[in-house]
């Protein structure tokens, strides 16, 4: 039986604490390790300071079985990762002859002089496994101390990634003969709020332990991550399928996709498959819907174009919206939205016309509150009108309007 290991990641570097770079290394490693069935319990960032580094190592030593350490292995005086580990363990530092040879070749080839501090990069610990770095100088080091495994890698992302994939992951798989697998699937929902979805699934979420069910909200949509643990990938997938079907029974009408699917891509694919073209008339969104379609490769087959009519005058001049509609109902009205969708559909000669008019704010407009938005979708069957209200700042109201349009299109097209 596999020992249930606890692992953590320590990233060393003052530049992380100054906010000059984000800790993307920890995110990348965590994702890879989750896939390999090694759960990460903590990330820590600490600066290039001997005392604090030693403390962080000691803390990790007390709570974890596997400790990944990146950074602080370079040639400068600031690089203190090895020294701190030596303070804690008393292990002797020895030089790796292969690394020294690599450095000598490198300096000879580039006609540069190797300074003494460069040699520091060949320092490893007695009894360690030394893994050669195929994209840089400093090697990866794996060392066991009091039953805890320490894996050291440079902080440069390419070097860390190459060492992880080529050496560290195979080393761990071998060491722990990782027989059981963690497999995850993300279910993506739109048109239902996070708390509502959670309410629908409450009993499942609180009773279920394998797979676990974790709701995650992001703007205008919700995802549910199912993570199952089993002996084989097939068994894990089975567990996930069973839970998914229970979830789908309750909230299937809001499910639009899986894993890295986006609602934009789903709508795009539906348009492609049904050989439909679309055009947009945009007031408050200002071309943001159009731009989100053009983001996708192959958009010229489905997207005709857009009329961005931001001023009342332009709505009349370009889209020929009748004056009496704008005077009588206002430009922020379902009547204006309908006329915009109708005109753009005909002018741009598309199968579907969609329009956006509303108040992005912060000020009211025509007596209407910021966040009031009208969307009309005219397809070959009917005119579909929506009055919406979004809260938030200008940018949020505009982004949510565009996201909502994809939700509405998805529900119309998937029928």
Q: How far is the CB of 127 from its own copies (least distance, A)?
A: 29
Q: How far is the CB of 300 from its own copies (least distance, A)?
A: 6
Least Cα distance to 399 among 257, 263, 323, 285 occurs for 285
- What is residue 132's three-state secondary structure? coil
362 binds its own copies (CB under 8 A): yes
Residue span 119-158 as binding mask against its own copies, x where in contact by CB under 8 A, dash where not:
----------------x-----------------------
**In terms of CB distance, is 143 or 267 closer to its own copies?**
267
123 close to 93: Cβ distance less than 8 angstroms: yes
Q: How far is the CB of 65 from its own copies (least distance, A)?
A: 15
d(CA 18, CA 144): 32
Of 28, 171, 176, 329, the residue at the interface with its own copies (CB under 8 A) is 28
d(CA 397, CA 284): 9
**In terms of CB distance, is 23 or 148 closer to its own copies?**
23
Q: How far is the CB of 6 from its own copies (least distance, A)?
A: 10
DSSP 299: G
47 binds its own copies (CB under 8 A): yes
Site for its own copies in 386-405 (CB under 8 A): 389, 391-396, 398
- What is residue 229's three-state secondary structure? strand
12 binds its own copies (CB under 8 A): no
DSSP 20: S
d(CA 354, CA 371): 18
330 binds its own copies (CB under 8 A): no
The sign of the dihedral angle between the CA atoms of 173, 176, 181, 184 is: negative
**In terms of CB distance, is 244 or 282 closer to its own copies?**
282
Residue whose pair of structure tokens reads 């857009």 in the numeric block: 306
Q: How far is the CB of 126 from its own copies (least distance, A)?
A: 26
As beta bridge partners, residue 12 has 46
Q: Which stretch binds its own copies (CB under 8 A): 13-21, 91-99, 141-149, 266-274?
A: 13-21
Residue span 201-240 as binding mask against its own copies, x where in contact by CB under 8 A, dash where not:
----xx-------xxxx-------x---------------
Q: Which stretch binds its own copies (CB under 8 A): 11-19, 173-181, 251-259, 406-414?
A: 11-19
271 close to 302: Cβ distance less than 8 angstroms: yes
Q: How far is the CB of 36 from its own copies (least distance, A)?
A: 12
Site for its own copies in 266-325 (CB under 8 A): 279-280, 282, 284-291, 293-295, 297, 299-300, 303-311, 313-314, 317-318
Contacts (Cβ under 8 Å, ≥6 apart) of 161: 28
Q: How far is the CB of 310 from its own copies (least distance, A)?
A: 5
196 binds its own copies (CB under 8 A): yes
Least Cα distance to 261 among 410, 401, 94 occurs for 410
Strands 181-190 and 221-230: antiparallel
Q: Which stretch binds its own copies (CB under 8 A): 54-62, 167-175, 245-253, 334-342?
A: 54-62
Residue whose pair of structure tokens reads 């643990």 in the numeric block: 229
> What are φ and ψ of residue 182, in 5° steps?
-105, 125
Q: How far is the CB of 152 from its own copies (least distance, A)?
A: 19
41 binds its own copies (CB under 8 A): yes
Of 5, 36, 59, 411, the residue at the interface with its own copies (CB under 8 A) is 59
- What is residue 251's three-state secondary structure? helix
Q: Which stretch binds its own copies (CB under 8 A): 145-153, 193-201, 248-256, 375-383?
A: 193-201
Interface with its own copies: number of residues (CB under 8 A): 104
Of 4, 22, 177, 273, the residue at the interface with its own copies (CB under 8 A) is 22
d(CA 301, CA 351): 12
Peptide bond into 362 cis (omega under 30): yes
Q: How far is the CB of 210 from its own copies (least distance, A)?
A: 16
Residue 205 buriedness (CB in 10 A; 0-12 / 13-18 / 19+): middle
Least Cα distance to 164 among 176, 177, 151, 174 occurs for 151
Q: How far is the CB of 166 from its own copies (least distance, A)?
A: 13
Sheet holding 181-190, edge to edge: 212-218, 221-230, 181-190, 255-258
250 binds its own copies (CB under 8 A): no
């Amino acid at each position: 039986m596999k020992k249930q290991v606890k692992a953590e990641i320590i990233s060393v570097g003052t530049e992380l604490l100054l906010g000059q770079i984000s800790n993307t290394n920890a995110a990348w490693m965590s994702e890879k390790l989750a896939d390999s069935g090694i759960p990460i319990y903590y990330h820590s960032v600490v600066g290039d300071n001997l005392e604090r580094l030693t403390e962080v190592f000691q803390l990790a030593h007390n709570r974890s079985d596997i400790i990944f350490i990146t950074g602080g292995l370079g040639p400068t005086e600031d690089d203190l990762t090895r020294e701190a580990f030596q303070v804690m363990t008393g292990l002797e530092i020895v030089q790796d002859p292969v690394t020294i040879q690599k450095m000598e070749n490198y300096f000879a080839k580039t006609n540069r002089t190797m300074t003494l501090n460069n040699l520091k990069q060949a320092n490893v610990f007695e009894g360690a496994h030394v893994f050669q770095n195929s994209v840089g100088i400093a090697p990866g080091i794996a060392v066991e101390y009091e039953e805890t495994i320490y894996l050291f890698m440079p902080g440069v992302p390419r070097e860390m990634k190459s060492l992880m994939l080529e050496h560290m992951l195979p080393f761990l798989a071998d060491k722990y003969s990782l027989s059981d697998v963690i497999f995850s699937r993300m279910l993506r929902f739109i048109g239902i709020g996070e708390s509502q979805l959670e309410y629908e699934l409450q009993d499942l979420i609180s009773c279920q332990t394998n797979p676990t069910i974790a709701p995650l909200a992001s703007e205008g949509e919700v995802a549910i991550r199912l993570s199952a643990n089993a002996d084989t990938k097939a068994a894990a997938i089975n567990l996930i399928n069973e839970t998914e079907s229970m979830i789908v029974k309750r909230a299937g009408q809001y499910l639009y996709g899986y894993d890295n699917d986006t609602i934009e891509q789903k709508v795009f694919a539906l348009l492609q498959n049904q050989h439909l073209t679309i055009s947009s008339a945009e007031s408050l969104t200002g071309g943001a819907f159009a731009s989100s379609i053009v983001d996708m490769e192959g958009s010229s087959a489905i997207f005709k174009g857009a009329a961005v009519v931001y001023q009342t005058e332009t709505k009349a001049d370009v889209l020929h919206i009748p004056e009496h509609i704008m005077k009588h109902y206002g430009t922020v009205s379902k009547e204006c939205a309908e006329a915009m969708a109708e005109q753009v559909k005909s002018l741009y000669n598309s199968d579907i016309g969609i329009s956006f008019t509303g108040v992005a704010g912060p000020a009211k407009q025509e007596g209407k509150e910021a966040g009031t938005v009208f969307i009309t979708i005219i397809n070959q069957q009917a005119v579909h009108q929506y009055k919406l209200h979004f809260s938030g700042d200008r940018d949020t109201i505009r982004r949510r309007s565009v996201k909502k349009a994809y939700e509405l299109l998805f529900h119309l097209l998937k029928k």
